[in-house]
Structure 1
Amino acid sequence: MARELRVPKALTALPAPVRWLALPVALTCAIVVLVGSWGPAEPEVEAPRPGGKAAAYCRSLVAALPAELLGHARKDPSPASPYVAAWGSSPRTVLRCGIDRPEELDGEHAKDLSPTVDDLTWWSQKLDDGSYRFVATMRAAYVEVLSPPGVYGSPLDPAAALTPLVKANVPG
C-alpha cells in the first residue's frame, strides 16, 4: 500500500512554477552564503610581547593609530593585541610594535636601503612574496610595518604615513 504525499496547504496555494522553484532557490542561496563565508583566510599575525617601557610606548602608539591608512580601513587581526594593527584586507598592511631586534640587521641585509622620513630611519627589506618590511630603528621599541605588494604607489608609503605617530609615541 503506497502512502500518499501530503503537501502543506500554504504551498498548495502558491502557483506551480513558484512551488517548483522554491527548493532550488533556497539551495542556491544557502550555497552562496557558505561560499561567501569561505573567503581567503588572512595569515596569522604573531603579536610581539614587549616588556617594560617599550610595552607602554607600543600600547600608546597602537591606540593612536588611525581608523584609515591611505584609503584602507583599519581591521585588526584576531585575536586582538595591544601591539598590532592592520589596514585593508587580503593583502593587508600590518604594524607590529615591540618586535625583537631583527637578526637581519647584523647579517647580509644590514646594508639594505634604509630610507629616512622626517628624521626617522626605516630599515627596509624586500620579502620573498614581493612585500616590504620596514623597521623603525633607533627607537625605544622596534616598530615594524609590512607593506603588501602592489597596493601603494611606493612600498614606503604606509611607513611614511605612520612616521609622525611613531615619533610621537615611541621616543628615540
Structure 2
Amino acid sequence: MHLRFARWTGCACALLILAGCGGAVRVDPPVPEGAAAAACEKLGERLPQKLDGADRVESTPASPYVAVWGAGQIALRCGVPRPAAMAATDQVPEIDGVAWFPDPVRPTLFTSIGREAYVEVTIGREHTPQTVLVDLAAPVKAALP
C-alpha cells in the first residue's frame, strides 16, 4: 500500500513539475487495438477545447488516445483496460446516457463502461466531476457506440 501511495505521489509531483514549466503534461498513453483504437481516434476529434473552464493543452508523449485540460487538472485516456476494481454486481451511475464507474480507491478517477472502448478520466479536485462528465457525455456517445 505504501509503495502504491509513493508511486501515485511521485506521478502527481511529476505532473505538477511539468505543468509548472508551461510545457506538455506527461500522461502515459494506452495502446488500444482494432475497433477500440478507431473509436478512440474519433473521440479525440470530438473532444472540447475547453472543459470546466480549463483549456486543452498538449500531452507528452503525443497520442491520439490522450487529452489533457489545464495543467494536468483533467486527463482523459481512451482505450484503457476494464477497471480492475469493478465487480459485475456494481451499480454504475449514468450521466447523460454514459455510465461512469467511480473508482472506490481513487475518488478522482472515473471510467466510462459499456462502450466500444473504456475511457478513463482523472479530474483534479479544483474541478467538479459532474460538470466534466456531463461535458464529455456527448463526444463519448457520438464516438463510442
TM-score normalised by structure 2 residue count:
0.77
Measured against aligned partners, the alpha-carbon deviations of 1:62-116 in whole angstroms (never above 9, x if no partner) come to 1211111121110121111010000001x51001000011111139xx73x6321
What is the aligned partner in structure 2 of residue 168 from structure 1?
A: 142
Can you list the C-alpha shifts for 1:35-55, whole angstroms capped at 9, x where unaligned? xxxx72257311010000110
Structure 2 regions of 5+ residues with no counterpart? 1-15, 20-24
Q: Distance in 2 between matches of 1:126 and 1:155?
A: 14
Unmatched runs of 5 consecutive residues or more in structure 1: 1-38
Look up the match of 1:41: 18
2:38 pairs, out of 46, 50, 56, with 56
1:155 equivalent in alignment to 2:125? no
1:137 offset after TM fit, Å?
Answer: 0.8
Larger radius of gyration: 1
Greater per-residue strand proportion = 2
**2:48 matched to 1:66?**
yes
| Matching residue of 1:120 | 98
Larger RCO (CA under 8 A, 6+ residues apart): 2
Identity of aligned residues (%): 36
* SS in structure 2 of the partner of residue 166 of structure 1: helix
What is residue 75 of structure 1 aligned with on the other side?
A: 57
The RMSD of aligned alpha carbons is 2.1
